[in-house]
Structure 1
Amino acid sequence: HKHWLAGGAKKAKPLDAGSHWFQPGGQAHDDQCVGAEPCILFIVSDGKFDFTADPKAKAPKAGKYKLSARKALKWTPLDPAQPDGMKMAVVHGDPKAGAFGMLLELPPGANAGLHSHTGDYHAVILAGAPAHWLPHEQGEGEAVAPGTYWWQPGGYDHGDRCTGDAPCVAFVWETAAMDFIPAGTKPAAAPAE
């Protein structure tokens, strides 16, 4: 996939799966799917989605445009005690303060077990063969393919694991600050002010 601001086609380079960009509203830009496989985009819009094609659009001011190639993202372990475990790269927002977007990578064989989060989240699989399941389902879910999407409501137990021999990568958009509540436990009480 290539993404560029109007007038920048000559400088556009193919992006790896898992790349991210922030595109301010009203800013002319272009996208092109390159390669043999379909390009899968997960778009989060905080307003009306307006798709107005204009091949003659002029280059705009850059504004707050941000493009982050996957190789340039800062990956950090979800659990510092397990540096080779699950990792995340925050691409939008602050996971300690509220809604945020991240790329999440699970190594082959990783299993988060049943757990919940306070807020809802949306996920799109970018690579690998992860499984997502609910407590009433038999086993620990079937592997899903890249391009699979799910919405997980907050407060409900679910499980996630990475099957196969390759890492599993997802784009995740959470609606609240990040937390992880193992099944059978209650979330910690908010500190008194």
Structure 2
Amino acid sequence: MSIHLQNLGRAALVASALIAGAAFAAETSISVPVTDIKFFDTGVGPLKAAVGFGDLSKGAHSTFVKLPAGFVSPLHIHTEDYYAVVISGVVANEVDAHVPDRPLAPGSYWFQKGKVNHVTKCISANECVVFITQPGKFDYINAH
């Protein structure tokens, strides 16, 4: 098995675990076609979000986040830890803004520790979509 397929397998396993965790909290089984996923403004720059599970403004959630092509966040933190799986585009998420980007293609994932400065980028020519799971509400606090 190639390294790429091993990584994709690991990312799929993480995504499955994240989705399974969300499913345990749902009252009924659901299936949502991609055409029914509705994005809304997050209030954080140009970022858009769509509900996977829960409510990102109130507590535990799994959420699709859309970043426009070329997006580079300011150095920032989130209060809560989160896990992210890249659905489309190529993302970089680094805790040191001065290191070279590590491209995270579809199927890649990362864990972001809460209260740790980081920069998130969409480094592809097309928009990026990630699926995040967080145990508490989403916040975005610019580093000072």
Give 1:146 shift.
Answer: 1.0
Larger Cα-atom Rg? 1
CA separation in 1, counterparts of 2:113 and 2:54? 20
Q: TM-score, normalised by structure 2?
A: 0.79
C-alpha distance in structure 2 between counterparts of 1:174 and 1:166, whole Å: 25
For residues 18-167 of structure 1, what are the structure 2 equivalents within 5 Å?
40=12, 42-43=15-16, 44=18, 45-46=20-21, 64-79=28-43, 85-135=46-96, 137-139=98-100, 141-167=101-127
- Cα distance between partner residues in 1 of 2:136 and 2:51: 14
C-alpha deviation, 1:142, in angstroms: 2.7
Q: CA RMSD, aligned part only?
A: 2.5
Counterparts of residues 170-189 of structure 1 (less than 5 Å): 170-184=130-144
Contact 1:113 1:161 in 2 (8 A): no
Question: What is the CA distance between 1:79 and its match in structure 2?
Answer: 2.2
Q: How many residues align?
A: 129
* Letter aligned with residue 68 of structure 1: V
| Alignment partners' CA distance in 1, 2:12 and 2:35 | 18
Q: Which secondary structure state, in structure 2, belongs to the residue aligned with residue 66 of structure 1? A: coil
Distance 2:87 2:80 in 1: 22
Q: Is the 8 A contact 1:86 1:110 kept in 2?
A: no
The list of structure 1 runs, each at least 4 consecutive aligned residues, that deviate by more than 4 angstroms after superposition, is: none
Structure ranking higher in helix proportion: 2
In 1: Cα distance, 2:33 partner to 2:12 partner: 15
| Structure 2 CA distance for aligned equivalents of residues 92 and 114 of structure 1 | 27
Q: Within 2, Cα distance between the matches of 1:40 and 1:136?
A: 28
* Post-superposition CA distance 1:70-89 (Å, at most 9, x none): 21012001228x6xx22110
| CA drift at 1:135 | 2.2
Flag the structure with more relative contact order, 1 or 2, with Cα contacts below 8 A and sequence separation at least 6. 2
* Selected match of 1:169 from 123, 126, 129: 129
CA contact (8 A) 2:97 2:119 kept: no
Unaligned segments of structure 1, at least 5 residues: 1-36, 47-62, 185-193
SS at match of 1:147: coil
